[in-house]
C-alpha cells in the first residue's frame, strides 16, 4: 500500500536561498513519508501580484495561499524557510485535527531584539509568529476565502492574526514545533527550530544560540562542499 505524501509549502526569499535548501535537507533526512515541497518563489506565483509594501521577506503574505495551492484539498503544512526540522515531519500529520481550519503554535512573548536580520524592524504585535508554521485543513470551509484576490486585498494585521477565522477554528500545536531560537532558552531537542531573528547564514547570527544545529544541516546538504 502506498503511503500518503506530505505537502509542505515553504517560504523562499533569494536573499537567504541557502536557508530554504537547508530546511528541506533537514526535513528529508528524517521524514517517514514522501514529501512534496512547494517553494513560495514570487517569480513562479504568476496568479498572485504582491501589492503589500511592508514585510521583511518575499513570502510574508503569499503563505496564506497554501490552501489555494493545494486546490483546497487535504492537509498541508506551511513553514518559514529559516527553520530546521529536528524530528519526523510526519508527526504533524498525527497532530492534525480535521475540526480546525488551521493549527499553530500560539506564541505569547515579547521579542528580545527590536531589529532583526538585514536591519528589518522587529515589532511586537498580537499573535506574533503564529503564522510562521501553520498546519492547514485545506478543505475547511472557512479557508475557501484564501484566494489570491483576498490575500492581495487584506493587510498584515488581518492575515497574520487569522481574522478570517473564528478563534474556535484555530487549533494549537506544541511549542516544540515552532521553537524560537534566541527568543527562548536553548532547547536542542525541539522538533522544529525557527531562527526568526536571523538565520545563521547571516554574519550577525552565525554563532548565536542553536546555530550549530543549523550549520550541521547546512553541511549535510552539500551546499558548503567547496568551502
Return the CATH number at 185: 3.90.550.10
118-145 pLDDT tens trace:
777 878 989 999 999 999 999 999 999 9
Residue 52, pLDDT score: 73
Q: What is the pTM of this model?
A: 0.93
164-178 pLDDT tens trace:
999 999 999 999 999
Residue 1, pLDDT score: 39
CB within 8 A of 137, min separation 6: which ones?
75, 96, 97, 98, 100, 101, 102, 143
Full residue range of the structural domain in which residue 199 is found = 6-220
Residue 223, pLDDT score: 79
Say if 1 falls within a structural domain: no
Q: How confident is the model at residue 15 (pLDDT cuts 50, 70, 90)?
A: confident
Contact (CB, 8 A) for 173 and 135: yes
Overall number of domains in the chain: 1
Of 125, 196, 134, 149, the closest CA to residue 50 belongs to 149
100-117 pLDDT tens trace:
999 999 999 999 887 787
Amino acid at each position: 500500500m502506498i503511503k500518503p505524501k506530505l505537502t509542505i509549502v515553504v517560504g523562499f526569499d533569494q536573499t537567504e536561498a541557502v536557508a530554504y535548501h537547508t530546511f528541506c535537507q533537514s526535513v528529508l533526512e528524517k521524514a517517514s513519508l514522501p514529501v512534496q515541497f512547494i517553494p513560495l518563489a514570487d517569480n513562479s506565483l504568476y496568479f498572485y501580484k504582491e501589492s503589500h509594501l511592508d514585510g521583511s521577506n518575499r513570502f510574508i503574505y503569499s503563505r496564506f495561499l497554501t490552501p489555494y495551492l493545494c486546490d483546497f484539498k487535504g492537509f498541508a503544512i506551511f513553514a518559514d524557510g529559516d527553520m530546521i526540522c529536528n524530528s519526523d515531519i510526519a508527526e504533524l500529520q498525527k497532530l492534525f485535527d480535521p475540526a480546525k481550519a488551521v493549527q499553530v503554535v500560539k506564541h505569547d512573548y515579547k521579542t528580545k531584539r527590536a531589529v532583526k536580520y538585514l536591519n528589518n524592524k522587529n515589532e511586537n504585535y498580537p499573535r506574533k509568529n503564529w503564522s510562521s508554521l501553520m498546519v492547514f485543513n485545506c478543505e475547511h470551509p472557512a479557508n475557501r476565502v484564501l484566494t489570491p484576490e483576498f490575500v492581495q486585498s487584506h493587510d498584515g494585521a488581518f492575515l497574520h492574526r487569522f481574522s478570517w477565522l473564528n478563534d474556535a477554528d484555530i487549533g494549537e500545536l506544541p511549542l516544540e514545533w515552532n521553537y524560537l531560537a534566541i527568543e527562548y532558552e536553548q532547547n536542542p531537542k525541539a522538533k522544529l527550530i525557527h531562527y526568526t531573528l536571523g538565520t545563521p547564514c547571516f554574519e550577525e547570527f552565525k554563532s548565536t544560540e542553536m546555530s550549530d544545529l543549523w550549520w550541521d544541516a547546512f553541511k549535510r546538504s552539500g551546499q558548503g562542499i567547496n568551502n
